Chain A
């Protein structure tokens, strides 16, 4: 009964979404206030219906209702409750429902919190959200119905893929989807603006918080996915330039560009057409990301069983959304009035640099990701584009970006005295030089790129906080004075410094783990000791244990440091999940904060007592997670800025005057 209720609610949601799209769009076109007013309530009704539907599916999982095919295929009565719930989105049908729910949440949020939007813009934004909803809900109902029944019901389920029974991956999809779907709001605003034929500073102010929120979630989603790959796959790596990773990274890169170009629209009324295009492309890449993963178009080490028959529907929807929005863009963009002028050396110029580099990097990743697909469809054979391709194209584009990021936030709008800006960055430059040279010296002829990148990370980190110090006159004015200045500084300035600083920390992590990782693979006999990167690992043996829904072979290693002092006992496991008949590897990770120790066991020797053991020394990896968290924190702090919370002024004329003395936020 309850699953039928969920199914019915979803069908009703489709009808409501249709009304939510058609009526307000027509109303906005004809200037009919009553029709436009339909938008808000219908978005809320849409949200309520989808919530009921999602709750119904969750309920079926919680009580292990094995009359529902989806529950049979992805759950088991013996599974821990947390994974019963997260199992709801651990499969194709359920994850589509989650997508729809998040889309409805964003649509409802625009309806509830968009009180200060002009009625026609609000009506159009909500209508576009409804249109996206129609696409996804109909896709789910017609090709991937999660509420399908089975008769006779089996006694028990087939269990969720054990790799997904993990806290990191349990919350990875919701975070990632919050990011992807969050960009739908920016997309809806862009389409609405094209329909209205008007983009101004106020528009940019409304778009920014949504983009920022989406960016924070996407950052978190990517970091969680990377963290999961790091500890669960047992390969000791955290990023593989795998298609599935790339498709989540591309919207992040373009979303970052969008975040920055929207600032220019807001402050300077320039780059408007470009910002609209970015909003469209960012969401298009998000759609591409969702669908590439779901359609099995690209083969990937992370690919789970997927159904190619849905591909056609997906392709049509992509063509409709991307093609339609770009056509609209081509028709309407020329009508947007170009805005303020600026010199090449200015804050705007810096942000244009940021946008160019990010867009170019996205393009190279897109080529690398889609090339195998294109070549194959042209009959050119099956190829794989490996990580070296991405390292060779992506890294050279990011190095100048990080360099510009150091001084970008200090440049003035319109035109900048570059000598003055660089003069303030003497400390950062000195620190960068010292770090770079020290790295070069310590690694003793290692990769030059590592020293350069680490120097740049130091440059960025110090520069991010030099900016804050300069604005609060730290050490130049009395401390009390600095304190009051610090409190008066807009939060978005702290957000910028944190996000940039966080990236610097994360870069240090990327460099360290790539350049100085130590790997040791060997067969170890019980009692044997092996030295890796200054730590000694003693293999104590393997025990057989029984988990809640798995069997485990747990090894134990005693780790001591160079002086023989006890560090930790590490217990990597090999598990067998009997229901799914699937083995998994559980890595043991002990963090030393500046580095991780990482151990995995393989198979037992056929003759003898030895086990294949893989031990990694992973320098600076914890910095990656720390850096991602700091970046997210930066986004959140910036989101709490007063300017974004209180109603934005209706007129574009109330811009903050530009100038080095009263530097506006960012």
Chain B
């Protein structure tokens, strides 16, 4: 085994693993990128059912309703538009009316209500999820005096 041959072997192995990695990344990306959409965008352009997305905004004041079992219905707003969301499960500790929230899921069969599979609020009172800040900025409702500066 000469130095050159060894180098060739290592280079081939390296290329092989690089190729495997690229193939893995590309196939995994195809189904697992979750895009963020704002309530305004959904209101204006609609959202095809079964498309898994992430929405963000504020929980509209007075919109949280307990349904049967542990189902909850609330509205997520970017202060321009709001969309109704249902969720089955325990809401995070920092889920509150008027506070930022991010939900992952898709529009239900009725084409109206967003069915969340995951609801996230953050660990910190003062922290505004970037998506929420983005949604508020996009809808022109961002008021810097009312809170922290947007994180980006």
Contacts and interface: CB of A to CB of B under 8 A. Distances in A.
Interface string A379-392: 00111111011001
Interface stretch (B43-51, B76-84, B107-115, B126-134): B126-134
A51 to B, nearest CB: 30
Interface stretch (A104-112, A335-343, A468-476, A623-631): A335-343
A393 interface: yes
Given A383-B33, A383-B34, A305 B18 contact: no
A369 B120 CA distance: 19
A386 B34 contact: yes
Interface residues of A, number: 57
With a 10 A CB-CB cut-off, give which of B9, B25, B27 has the most chain A CB atoms.
B25
Interface string A520-564: 011100000000000000000000000000000000000000000
A392 B32 contact: yes
A337 to B, nearest CB: 11
- Per DSSP, chain A at the interface is mixed
A605 interface: yes
A18 interface: no
Contacts of A267: none
B127 A305 contact: yes
A161 interface: yes
A614 interface: yes
B68 to A, nearest CB: 9
Nearest to A274: B10
A37 B66 CA distance: 72
Given A301-B120, A603-B91, A341 B1 contact: yes
A514 interface: no
Contacts of B131: 299, 382
B145 interface: no
A377 B116 CA distance: 27
Contacts of B90: 234, 521, 600, 602-603, 612, 614
B124 A602 contact: no
A291 to B, nearest CB: 15
A420 to B, nearest CB: 20
- Per DSSP, chain B at the interface is mixed
B96 to A, nearest CB: 9
Contacts of A341: 1-3, 6
Interface string B86-115: 001111011000000000100000000000
Interface string A308-333: 10000000000000000000000000
B123 A356 contact: no
B151 interface: yes
A583 interface: yes
A364 B36 contact: no
B125 A397 contact: no
Contacts of A367: 25
B144 interface: no
Contacts of B10: 352
A299 B132 CA distance: 11
Given A396-B24, A583-B93, A356 B14 contact: yes
B123 A393 contact: no
Contacts of A386: 32, 34
B63 interface: no
A364 B130 contact: no
Nearest to B9: A344
Contact of A521 (B3, B36, B70, B152): B70
B122 A303 contact: yes
A406 B124 CA distance: 44
Nearest to A376: B152
A522 B69 contact: yes
B135 to A, nearest CB: 9
23 contacts: A163-B123, A299-B131, A308-B151, A341-B3, A352-B10, A352-B13, A356-B17, A368-B25, A371-B33, A382-B131, A383-B34, A384-B33, A392-B28, A396-B20, A521-B88, A522-B69, A523-B70, A580-B125, A585-B93, A602-B70, A605-B66, A606-B66, A614-B90
Interface of A: 161, 163, 234, 296, 299, 301-306, 308, 338, 341-344, 352-353, 356-357, 359-360, 363-364, 367-368, 371, 381-386, 388-389, 392-393, 396-397, 521-523, 574, 580-585, 600, 602-603, 605-606, 612, 614
Given A163-B123, A393-B25, 14 more contacts: A299-B151, A303-B122, A303-B127, A352-B13, A353-B13, A356-B13, A359-B17, A360-B17, A371-B29, A385-B29, A385-B33, A385-B34, A602-B70, A602-B91
Q: Which 7 residue pairs are nearest across A and B when measured between Cβ atoms?
A: A602-B90, A382-B36, A392-B28, A389-B32, A393-B24, A299-B130, A384-B34
